Structure 1
Amino acid sequence: MTLYQLWHKEIPIVEADNTDILIIGAGIAGITAALELLDSGKRILILDRDEATNFGGLAKEAFGGMALCGTPLQRINGIKDDPELMLRDWLSFADFSADDKWPRYWAEAYAYRNKTDVYQWLRQQGVQFFPAVNWVERGEFMPGNSVPRYHIVWGTGWELVRVLEQKLRHHPKAGNLKMAFRHRVDGFDSSNDRICGVTGQNEATGQPFQYQADITIVATGGINGNLEKVRQNWPPTWGEVPTTILNGSHRYSDGLLHDAAQALGASVTHLDWQWNYAAGIQHPQPRMPAHGLSLIPPKSALWMDATGRRIGPHPLVTGFDTHGLCQRICELPHGYTWQVMNRKIARKEMSISGSEHNAAFRDKKPVTFMKEILLGNDRLYDYLTSQCPDVVTAHSLEELGEKMNSLTPEVTVDTAGMICDVRHYDKVIDRGEAFHNDDQLRRIEHARRWKGDKVRTLKYQKIDDLNAYPLVAIREFIISRKSMGGIHTDNHCRVLDAAGNALSGLYAIGEAAGFGGGGANGKRSLEGTFLSLCVLTGRVAARSIRGEQNP
């Protein structure tokens, strides 16, 4: 048996059984909780709806970034940071109301505990972080991350799952752990005002199941894999729901257990607090309906509306306020946009979020990775231009406009207007740095002051540059990703009812709990707060179940 097969070997269980602790969901939150709870000597059963080979959930597909403060890597990079500054930045983006008692509690807990309870704990498990710290979500009209905090797991989320799964498999008390896949949990059992287990169906055999447990933990993710629920809970400040939304979440993050918890009397809050992305493209090899890829857009590309005109007067530039980008795009008439660039910009600045398309980083090949950063990523460029249906290339602006129109005949691209906007931008660059009165150029200059962005951002690159041809246009849609609201929980991760009382025997962690308290991030995220909050809430729930007073 290979090591891969060992990691993904399902432990057989019968269809009617009992256990001490039942964890629904084998994502990073469930894995963390199980790893901590094994130390207690309790019997643990993990039920997951997906295949065993997808153990790890959405974390396995993630790039692996975490917002952390006060770490040795920040000090090495000359970054001065502390919990007070992080919390100030967090609250600026979150915009909590006076009623958000538990979401704010979890924001404060994260700011003060992320170094010890997430960073140091992961390092103890054997997780390594890439030495460079990135600066994302800097804020546009309100303060965001005041300093770089985005720490990336060396090996992406794929490696994070692999390391923690190894710890599970080789734990001294691993014999107390059972796992069953293709098991869909539909509802909860209760007795004497206490949650005492679950019911559902084995989707591999079609047989129903029922499991009894002293403690049940919901770790099933959010609602954003269910585009119907995404539409039903669309943020009211974002205007009309776009006709096309792509799915960049986990296909089983469908909110089924949110509904089941509500049926028991649980409070579910802030489902309109969603973390979606502005630059989604159709996956060339889709594995689910509306499957999308989330681009990390180039800062040097021009962001155009559906008619090909530059969005403004305040231009769209990535890296400052993702929530704001989505809101402004949804306010436009057609719900999708274009980015216009050239091959040089695309090779140097563009990437796709996640482990799937960052093979050099995922497989920990530093030489290949640095070549792609410094010299450009031909592999990714070739993949997008040859396989993605939302990408067109051309050898003149006129030809580019024609191809854009052929891709979207229902909305006419104003080719003459697009050419005018591109040439105006290029002329500003030609005047010289002292005369750059375009806000996109100012933001590029600001981004390049940080070394992590400087190596990935070109210095004032024109669009219509024959030496950088061919030209490239990418049609981009809103892509659903993460739920920042969820099942309302307290400081012990116990599920609460509408009156604020804990439902006995029921816990929720990770994205299912809005990453803590039913909405720890608030309306905006500092980015990189998702995997790490899964770790924190998983550990806190385990400590509480073990009986620790201050988990």
Structure 2
Amino acid sequence: MNDVVVVGSGVAGLCAAVEAAEAGAQVLVLERDTAVGGASAMSGAACNMVGTRLQHAHGVDDDVQLALADWVRVGGPTADVEWARRYLERSRVDIYEWCEDLGISWMELSQPEGNSVPRVHTPAGWGRGIVEALTSRAKSLGVEIEVGLDVHQVVVRDGAAAGVRATSAEGEELQLGARAVVVCTGGFAANHDLMRDVAPNLRRLPRLLSGGAPGALGHGHRLLRRAGAQFTCLDHIWAYPNGTPDPDDETGTRGVGVRGVTGDIWLNRAGRRFVDEGNRNGGSGARALLAQPKQTAWSIFNSAELPNVVLLGNERWGTPGKVDPALLAEFWCRSEFVWRADGPTDLARKIGLPVPAVEASVATFNAAVLAGKDRDPEHQRSLTGVSPLAGPDLIAIQFFPIAVKTFGGVKTDLECRVIDQNGAIIRGLFAAGEVAGMAGGCINGRAALEGTMFGPCLYSGRVAGAAAMAELTRL
């Protein structure tokens, strides 16, 4: 009999395991995949935090109330204000400094769209670095981690969790007893059918790609639903505008997010620019793409930027921390949504866009760059460090909306205890991370600031692990 069984080994699950083990629990972590980390290992792991040493070093004046105002303004009325405030209040101590104690250093501070000040922190080693540090810490505490085990039921007896049932890779059925169960299985952005089922508005899109971790299929949601859990905001799907189909996926539904390009312009079917390309996130960038005919666009950039590209969603093409140039070259060759040409005229013809419009769009943009303007006159896009778009080698990548996160999930209280359909606590059952809408059920709301996903998953995992052990101690 284990004290605590944690289902899922992403950042939330590993944090829950570490917290419970540090409190003296015997902990078993079960992972459905063959490797530890899930979506967390593929993440850039940017965290929205307040009052950190890095902010102070850059002279940034920030506080919880300002950060919370930004959070709620972007997230809207479904954002869980109580959870968001709690997260922000504890972000410096429980994330920034706690990760530093694990050996993680915070290397970059940025101010993505929607943040009043720079408060988004990127760690050295990205998500994989944090996963590796947490795994090492968990094992040093005696946590047992088993991969390749598919948990298909949370056992509930007399209104309390009593363990899980699972199937091994060899097909062996296992029943594992536990005094507490913590579910940290991630979201369901990789489950195309489930997304369209819970968010009918997505059905109208000519093409919606699934991004994020391939294993984000909603297995934990099924586990918790069977256990009688209550869910909230499942239709809150977070999509980015910079997805392109993954040639490794024969179904045509999986995509990769294109990152690292900074000097491109985006053209719609009319061959016209339509957005400040610096805002390539799930906010204004996604809204602008969704307003275009057929909800698609083409990113045009110089081939000199190819070495900077990172493709997120399939680790074979690379991760934020490691890119193999040979594999990237394979992607460019195999993708049916990538074109190369000597100049804008030839590129427009190959894509099938109106040649005069493309020529004019490129010429207008280049004129602003060559004139030394700080911002282009069309969309006020920053031109700092940007080069003119010129031959002999221009690249075009076709973009589609790509779903990467699910913002709704199982509803919990502030101790990550799962709430049933009647509003009561299911004793001994906890949930954290994306399966719980990052924290509580829906900490972000319908939209989100950058950096408000990985951080709350980490934080809620810590809360869940500590709360699980505290409940066992009380009992």
Q: TM-score, normalised by structure 1?
A: 0.78
Residue 390, structure 1, aligned to residue 337, structure 2:
yes
Deviations 1:47-72 (A, max 9, x none): 11100xx2111111112222222111
| Aligned pairs (5 A) from 1:49-448 | 49-51=32-34, 54-97=35-78, 103-130=80-107, 132-136=108-112, 138=113, 144-171=114-141, 174=142, 177-202=143-168, 204-234=169-199, 236=201, 240-285=203-248, 290-296=253-259, 298-305=261-268, 307-312=269-274, 315-319=275-279, 322-344=282-304, 346-347=305-306, 350-353=309-312, 362=321, 385-405=332-352, 413-429=353-369, 433=373, 437-439=377-379, 442-444=380-382, 448=384
Separation in structure 2 between the aligned mates of residue 472 and residue 325 of structure 1, nearest angstrom: 20
Report how many aligned residue pairs link the two structures. 472
Q: 1:272-328: CA deviations, max 9, x gaps?
A: 2222221112335559974432112645322112x252243xx24233752332233
Using the alignment, how far apart are the partners of 2:221 and 2:375 within structure 1? 54
Gaps spanning 5+ residues in structure 1: where?
1-17, 139-143, 364-368, 370-376, 406-412, 449-456
Superposed displacement of residue 121, structure 1 = 0.7
Does the aligned pair in 1 maintain the 2:212–2:313 contact within 8 Å? no
CA distance in 1, matches of 2:316, 2:448: 24
Structure 1 residue 104, shift from structure 2 partner: 1.8
Pairwise CA distance, 1:155:
1.4
Q: 1:531 aligns to what?
A: 454
Q: CA deviation at 1:271?
A: 1.5
- Structure 2 gaps of 5+ residues are none
Alignment of 1:445-456 (within 5 A): 448=384
- Distance of 2:320 and 2:176 partners within structure 1: 40
Contact 2:196 2:203 in 1 (8 A): no
- Cα contact 1:351–1:380 (8 A) shared by 2: no
- Alpha-carbon distance, 1:76 to partner: 1.5
Identical-residue share of aligned pairs (%)? 26
User: Which secondary structure does the structure 2 equivalent of 1:58 belong to?
Assistant: helix
Shift of 1:435: 9.5
SS at match of 2:461: helix
For 1:516 and 1:163, how far apart are their aligned partners in 2?
22
Deviation at 1:108, TM superposition (A): 0.8
Alignment partners' CA distance in 1, 2:294 and 2:453: 30
Go from structure 1 to structure 2 and tell me whether the alpha carbon gap of 1:437 and 1:329 turns closer, same or farther (over 3 Å shift): closer
Relative to structure 1, is the Cα distance of residues 475 and 170 closer, same or farther in structure 2, using a 3 angstrom cutoff?
same
Q: Give, in whole Å, the separation in 2 of the partners of 1:192 and 1:523.
A: 36
Aligned residues of 2:208 and 2:401 also touching (Cα < 8 A): yes
Q: Measured at CA, do residues 355 and 106 of structure 1 come closer, stay the same or move farther in structure 2, by a change above 3 Å?
A: farther
One-letter code aligned to 2:147: F
Q: In structure 1, the residue corresponding to 2:446 is in which secondary structure?
A: coil
CA contact (8 A) 2:64 2:88 kept: yes
Q: Equivalent of 1:518, from 419, 429, 441? A: 441
CA–CA distance in structure 1, aligned partners of residues 135 and 89 of structure 2: 27
Report the 3-state secondary structure (helix = DSSP H, G, I; strand = E; otherwise coil) of the residue aligned with 2:82.
helix
Change (3 A) 1:518 1:428: same
Q: Distance in 1 between matches of 2:200 and 2:71?
A: 20
Q: Could you tell me how far apart the structure 1 residues matched to 2:288 and 2:281 are?
A: 11
The reply to whether residue 28 of structure 1 matches residue 11 of structure 2 is yes
Q: Structure 1 stretch 354-363 or stretch 473-482: which is displaced more? A: 354-363
> d(CA) in 2 for partners of 1:510 and 1:147?
26
Which of 401, 408, 432 matches 1:485? 408
The TM-score with structure 2 as length reference comes to 0.90
Which amino acid is 1:109 matched to? R
Contact 2:245 2:252 in 1 (8 A): no
Is 1:187–1:200's contact at 8 Å kept on the other side of the alignment? yes
Equivalence for 1:141: none
The alignment yields a C-alpha RMSD, in angstroms, of: 3.0
